[in-house]
């Protein structure tokens, strides 16, 4: 997107992250979250809830634990 002069915004990042989390791509989702935060955007309520659910799972993902 950036190469075509259309940089992603917070809506785009949140949609990508949510899709990755739904497909169990935790590591990639965490990378996108970091990129999003580095660019000054923040997670919306749905994205934040999905990460909180991962942290409160019986066996939380280590990637998410390390990030948070």
Residue 1 lies in a domain: no
Per the structure, the count of domains in the chain is 1
Residue 31 lies in a domain: yes
> What is the distance between the alpha carbons of residues 65 and 68, in angstroms, rounded to a whole number?
5
> What is the distance between the alpha carbons of residues 15 and 68, in angstroms, rounded to a whole number?
20
Residue 27 lies in a domain: yes
Residue 3 lies in a domain: no
Q: In the prediction, which pLDDT does 3 show?
A: 85
Residue 2 lies in a domain: no
Per-residue pLDDT of the chain (68 residues; tens, 9 = 90+): 878 889 999 999 999 999 999 998 999 999 999 999 999 999 999 999 998 888 887 777 777 777 77
Domain span including residue 44: 8-67
């Amino acid at each position: 997107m950036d190469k075509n002069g259309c940089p992603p915004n917070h809506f785009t990042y949140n949609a990508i992250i949510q899709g990755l989390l739904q497909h169990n791509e935790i590591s990639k989702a965490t990378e996108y979250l970091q990129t999003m935060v580095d660019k000054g955007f923040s997670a919306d309520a749905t994205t934040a809830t999905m990460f909180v659910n991962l942290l409160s799972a019986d066996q939380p993902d280590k990637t998410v634990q390390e990030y948070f």
